[in-house]
Amino acid sequence: MQRVYLDNAATTPLDKEVIAEMTNVMENFFGNPSAIHALGREVRTLVEKARKTVSGILNAAPSEIFFTSGGTEADNMAIRCGIAAYGIRHAITSKIEHHAVEQTLHNLLRDGVIDKLSFVGIDEKGNVDYDHLEELLRENERSFVSLMHANNELGTLTDMERVGAICEAYHAIYHADTVQTMGHYVHDVKKLKAHFLVCAAHKLHGPKGAGFLYVNSKIKIPPMIYGGAQERNMRGGTENVYGIVGLAKALQIAYADMERHQQYIQSLKDYLKNRLETEVPGVTFNGETDPDKSLYTVLNVSFPEMEMADMLLFNLDINGICASGGSACSSGSNIGSHVLSGIGADPNRPSVRFSFSKYNTREELDYVVEKVKQVVQQNVNA
């Protein structure tokens, strides 16, 4: 059976060059990077070389990069430590953020760390209402703003430079969840005016369990994890050296060929969208589809109401098609997608998120369209 992987927003396959880089470290460098002897110093050099690679790509200082276990930890560290450092009592986010942001802020509100949590307006495509954001900042004391660069289910992009400028005008702390876009777009921290950016390596053909948090040098935050002097006393625990090296290599590869991959993957997204529109009656698309306003790796499709709608993904799976009904972090949830609910999507229509990478082909998408047509016809006419 043919297998087609279209769940790259959840995780991506490892690049072979990344595997080779990590394998070399696993085989030849086993010292603890905190040790002062030669074997430890060798490994410390690898970690610091990776930090310089990442900081150079982002136009940041090496001291602004802190390695983490991934995007969720980085989001938590930015939000919890940023709010604690400045005694902020008011936070602003949207109702379609990743659970790593949404649940963290709700818990801070529940625990009395913040007094108020405001939600900026969004439209039916997931676009932020920038005027409302400014209104919320104007009406409240100093705020912490957490808005993602690209929605992980819809693909809708937020204008980070615009948000950064608005936050700067009101002295707000700005955290941008860039998990879905790191390695897919250029992030120049000198231009963005963001205080925090995050990365999860497995979203850009790097390893799972590795990520980083960028912390603008203009602000200082306390650690979230205590227990050691690692990451310049900011994150206790022995470093995931293999993951850190793999992350840096994956980011290097992504930036080296970014424009070509953008064009190629966008062409795949357009191709699938056009074929589904033409050949599957009643499909619509969630989020922005304008290439300038939408992440080129994500296409969210709503299908007509059908019998056994909850079996749509299962039927695709048994035909060898790996896709998602929403955020991978919601798997197993029976309450549906909070993102689709947040934009007012029809709860009676099943939706599928197809997400692409440089390894996908048009031939795979032709197979997907044929199988989708069969599954939809069987269930709509049931």
Paired tokens of 125: 């495509």
Can you list the domains of the chain with their CATH numbers? 4-12+257-380 (3.90.1150.10), 16-256 (3.40.640.10)
Cα 280 to the chain's mean position, in Å? Answer: 29
Paired tokens of 347: 């709860």
Pick from 231, 259, 233, 236: nearest CA to 50 = 231
DSSP bridge pairs for 4:
321
The answer to whether 212 and 68 are in contact (CB under 8 A) is: yes
pLDDT at 330: 44
DSSP string, 137-158: HHHSSSEEEEEESB-TTT-BB-
Task: Return mean pLDDT, the chain.
Answer: 94
The answer to whether 118 and 92 are in contact (CB under 8 A) is: yes
pLDDT at 229: 93
pLDDT at 52: 98
DSSP bridge pairs for 157:
150
Distance CA 74, CA 100 (A): 9
Pick from 87, 77, 103: nearest CA to 235 = 77
Measured in residues, the chain has a length of: 382
The backbone torsions φ and ψ at residue 312, rounded to the nearest 5 degrees and listed phi first, read: -60, -50
The DSSP secondary-structure symbol of 78 reads: I
pLDDT at 1: 75
- 3 state SS for 260-275: HHHHHHHHHHHHHHHH
Residue type, 307: E
For the whole model, what pTM was predicted? 0.95
The answer to whether 177 and 208 are in contact (CB under 8 A) is: no
DSSP bridge pairs for 92:
118, 145
pLDDT at 381: 62
C-alpha dihedral sign at 67, 69, 73, 75: positive
Pick from 308, 253, 239, 226: nearest CA to 51 = 239
Distance CA 118, CA 94 (A): 8
Residues in contact with 265: Cβ distance below 8 Å, sequence separation at least 6, in sequence order: 296, 297, 356, 357, 358, 360
> Which residues are identified as catalytic?
329
Distance CA 202, CA 360 (A): 17
pLDDT at 334: 53
C-alpha dihedral sign at 52, 54, 60, 63: negative
Q: Which residue has the tokens 């990451």?
A: 231
Pick from 212, 241, 236, 211: nearest CA to 224 = 236
Residues in the chain, pLDDT under 70: 307-309, 326-335, 381-382
Paired tokens of 189: 């921290």
Q: Residue 164: CA atoms inside 13 Å, Cβ hemisphere, count?
A: 18
